[in-house]
Chains A and B, each alone.
Chain A
Amino acid sequence: MSIAASVLDAVRAESLHHGAHISRAGLRVGELSGVEIDSLRFCLDALVPGSGLEPLAFELEPVPWTRRCRACGAVFRVVDYQPDCAACASPLTDPEAGDQLEISFVELEES
């Protein structure tokens, strides 16, 4: 719930920054962000009415957990917690993506 409140704060700040109402916002939610996308959607739906930001809709986009291989450079999705490179099987891999929790776009209402 406090994450959803932070999302609304961020949308409010962007709205002030652009001087326009935001009707739609995109959120990237990484598989490793610790945030459950359905719970976040539920909390956002609960918080938007009465926030002064309505009408406001969200597009939530899950971001898969990926790692990058030091040996062959491949970026691969981590499946079944397997950290070894999916392309060349090297065990030397580094985190690449999946812990994001960010606003990816806002749609400004034309005035």
Chain B
Amino acid sequence: MRVPLERKVLNENDRIAAALRQRFQQCGAFCLNLISSPGSGKTTLLERTLAGYDSARRVAVLTGDLQTDNDARRLARFGFPVRQITTGGACHLDASMVERHLADWKLDGLEILFLENVGNLVCPTSYDLGEDARAVLLSVTEGDDKPLKYPATFHHADLVLLTKTDLLPYVPFDMEQARENARRVQPGIEILDLSCTTGDGLDRWYAWIERHL
């Protein structure tokens, strides 16, 4: 006997993500999921971002990697709560990992929670973490056609960050082409460009975050 269904495969993940989202909303935190290839500058962007925040602000980071707690140690220097999620082989974060690592954290009064996903432009796309928004980083040392090669990731993003723009004189990356490719996958997507080395564009990035608080 054939029984028709419309059951999402990631039902269980989505259920946990929905509970997390409700928890973030209740405590008024803005949660941002950062996704990119390895080496696009997620950790460096977070370092620059945390360095710019007054210590009185309530900001926290969960950072995911296959192995090592190097990123958590890099980010902990800024005095904000940071916790490493070591996935031990999984190429993405899922909602239960986030839930587990937040279990003993008091989120009351938290303003911003950054979730730094595992460096991977494919698998993190499928996993809702309960975030309010998703940002995809694309560095200028990569190909400007990446939005076309990984349309699912860019289709589900709220913001594209074109990073390492200080390197533009040395690479063939075409900024306008990259923007156009992102807009072909998702018309109307927000796109910012920035360099963590020179600080160019960081003001617009901070403003984007503040607009969502």
Contacts and interface: CB of A to CB of B under 8 A. Distances in A.
11 contacts: A3-B10, A32-B156, A65-B151, A82-B184, A91-B187, A95-B155, A100-B8, A103-B5, A104-B6, A108-B1, A108-B3
Contact of B9 (A3, A31, A93, A110): A3
B5 A106 contact: yes
A27 interface: yes
Nearest to B123: A34
Contact of A14 (B1, B5, B148): B5
A104 B7 CA distance: 7
Interface in B1-50: 1-13
Interface in B87-107: 90, 92, 94
Contact of B3 (A99, A101, A106): A106
B10 to A, nearest CB: 6
- Sorting the interface of chain B by its residue count into under 10, 10 to 19, 20 to 34 or 35 or more gives 20 to 34
B185 interface: yes
Nearest to A95: B155
Given A32-B155, A33-B152, A34-B126, 18 more contacts: A2-B90, A7-B9, A14-B3, A32-B152, A32-B156, A33-B126, A34-B123, A91-B187, A99-B152, A99-B156, A101-B8, A103-B6, A103-B7, A104-B5, A104-B6, A105-B2, A105-B4, A106-B3
Interface of B: 1-13, 90, 92, 94, 122-123, 125-126, 148, 151-153, 155-156, 181, 184-187
A32 B125 CA distance: 9
Interface in A11-62: 14, 18, 27, 31-35
A52 to B, nearest CB: 18
Contacts of A33: 126, 152
Interface string A84-111: 0000000101010001111111111010
B148 A81 contact: yes
A65 B154 CA distance: 14
Contacts of B94: 2
Provide the main secondary structure of the chain A interface: mixed
A41 B144 CA distance: 31
A104 B4 contact: yes
B1 A102 contact: no
A10 B9 CA distance: 6
Contacts of A103: 5-9
Nearest to A100: B8
A27 B9 CA distance: 9
Contacts of B2: 105-108
B1 A107 contact: yes
A32 B156 CA distance: 9
